[in-house]
């Protein structure tokens, strides 16, 4: 089961980090994905209960927020312990509150300051990579360089997580995920042109 959770989280990481914007969605029929290039993946993640939507919509072209990513990771990793809410911008009773506090207790999501955790801000690819790496227990300490052309643009606090996640994506376990993500990126490029 632990290996399955790691595989699911790694697949989610590749979707978010390599595929650009991902959205938060709900099981069932979505009225906004019928002709979307990612329809089958959306349905698969929804059937697994990892992503849930609202009002019959998935919003496949929307960005994902820090709070939504915390919810997704909590559903995959099944965190049990809730941190005390010391964040001024984290309201009780929101769909993401408990997941953010659990992910914070697990050391997966950190505050954007001493008093804020910014659950409604769009998650950057760097933040997503670091959060997913932490969820998987992958090292986020260090400052290796990647082979990306824009390596110098990767923030120092995220560089090790990016390096480690790329290495894991290249491993035998995740070669299929990488191949699928490349196909999705190619289809996206064709769809966008």
Mean pLDDT, residues 9-18: 49
Distance, in Å, from the CA atom of 179 to the CA atom of 185, rounded to the nearest integer, reads 10
pTM over 0.75: no
Distance, in Å, from the CA atom of 40 to the CA atom of 172, rounded to the nearest integer, reads 24
pLDDT of 17 over the 70 cut? no
Kindly report the CA angle at 63 between 141 and 35, in degrees rounded to 5?
130
H or E segment to which residue 75 belongs:
helix 66-77
Comparing 56-60, 76-80, 169-173, which segment has the lowest mean pLDDT?
Answer: 169-173
Q: Indicate if the alpha-carbon torsion angle 145, 19, 50, 170 is positive or negative.
A: negative
Distance, in Å, from the CA atom of 53 to the CA atom of 31, rounded to the nearest integer, reads 11
73-116 residue pLDDT tens: 999 999 999 999 999 999 999 999 999 999 999 999 999 999 99
**Domain count for the chain:** 1
The per-residue DSSP string of 140-192 comes to --S----S-TTGGGS-HHHHHHHHHHHHHHHSGGGHHHHHHHHHHHHHHHHHH
pLDDT of 152 over the 90 cut? no
Identify the domain containing residue 115 by its residue range: 2-192
Distance, in Å, from the CA atom of 176 to the CA atom of 27, rounded to the nearest integer, reads 25
Distance, in Å, from the CA atom of 14 to the CA atom of 97, rounded to the nearest integer, reads 25
Comparing 16-25, 81-90, 137-146, which segment has the lowest mean pLDDT?
Answer: 16-25
């Amino acid at each position: 089961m632990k290996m399955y959770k790691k595989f699911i989280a790694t697949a989610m990481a590749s979707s978010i980090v390599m595929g650009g914007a991902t959205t938060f969605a709900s099981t069932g029929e979505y009225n906004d994905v019928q002709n979307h290039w990612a329809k089958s993946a959306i349905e698969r993640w929804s059937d697994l209960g990892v992503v849930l939507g609202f009002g019959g919509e998935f919003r496949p072209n929307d960005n994902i927020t820090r709070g939504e990513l915390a919810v997704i990771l909590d559903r995959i990793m099944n965190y049990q312990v809730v941190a005390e809410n010391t964040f001024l911008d984290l309201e009780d009773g929101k769909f993401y509150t408990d997941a953010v506090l659990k992910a914070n207790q697990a050391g997966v999501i950190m505050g954007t300051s001493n008093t804020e955790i910014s659950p409604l801000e769009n998650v950057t690819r760097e933040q997503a990579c670091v959060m997913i790496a932490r969820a998987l227990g992958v090292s986020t300490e260090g400052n290796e360089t990647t082979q990306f052309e824009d390596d110098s643009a990767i923030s120092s606090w995220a560089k090790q997580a990016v390096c480690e996640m790329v290495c894991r994506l290249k491993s035998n376990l995740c070669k299929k995920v990488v191949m699928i993500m490349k196909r999705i990126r190619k289809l996206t490029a064709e769809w966008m042109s």
